[in-house]
Amino acid sequence: FKFNDWEMRGVPVRVEIGPRDVEKGSVALARRDKPGQAGKSFVQQAGLAATVSGLLVEIQDALLQRATEFRDANIHEPKDYEDLKRIVTDGWAFAYWCESTECETKVKEDTKATTRNIPMHQPDGEGTCIVCGKPSKRKVYFARAY
């Protein structure tokens, strides 16, 4: 239970030192992002600081990669409004929007999704609003709040 307390606080690496580890001059490291034996390793106490420092960078890179892959796998470009309604049930829709409150309200009433983000970098050219079909200059992300 003591381990769980620190994992719930978000500590990325657990350092375990037992009596036998002290005799051997080693330390057990357990990564929070890799549960079980896959995330456990044994290192010498002498290089512990450098090892943990490198491990933290490795964990950060792995978490960023996992989040990026998740994001990219869940963003879809709907073909029409019906497609948008289907997509936002469990993902994010990236579509043109005319920026009218009426269209956003319709999306919210039909799907419980709202506009989440208007990216700074927009595709070249114009499109048509996914809801009403009016000309639109910008694409936005539609998603539900969790």
CA distance 49 to 78: 49
Is the predicted pLDDT of residue 72 greater than 80, yes or no? yes
What is the reported pLDDT for 97? 97
CATH class (in words) of the domain with range 77-144: alpha beta
Query: Domain 2-73 adopts which CATH fold?
Result: Rossmann fold (3.40.50)
Question: Do 77-144 and 2-73 have the same topology in CATH?
Answer: no
pLDDT tens-digit readout, 87-121: 999 999 999 999 999 999 999 999 999 999 999 99
pLDDT tens-digit readout, 18-45: 999 899 999 999 998 888 888 899 999 9
Is the predicted pLDDT of residue 4 greater than 90, yes or no? no
Task: Select from 136, 61, 56 the least CA-distant residue to 94.
Answer: 136
| Mean pLDDT, all residues of the chain | 93
Domain ranges of the chain: 2-73, 77-144
Q: Name the DSSP letter for residue 39.
A: G
- Cβ–Cβ under 8 Å, residues 96 and 128: yes
Higher pLDDT, 3 or 68: 68
Cα 90 vs. chain centroid, distance in angstroms? 14
Q: Taking the model in full, what pTM does it have?
A: 0.74
* Phi, then psi, of 58 in degrees rounded to 5: -65, -40
Is the predicted pLDDT of residue 1 greater than 70, yes or no? no
* Phi, then psi, of 29 in degrees rounded to 5: -115, 135
* Lowest model confidence (mean pLDDT) among 4-13, 116-125, 130-139: 4-13
Is the predicted pLDDT of residue 63 greater than 90, yes or no? yes
Residue type, 79: K
What is the helix, strand, coil percentage profile of the chain, to 5?
Answer: 45, 25, 30
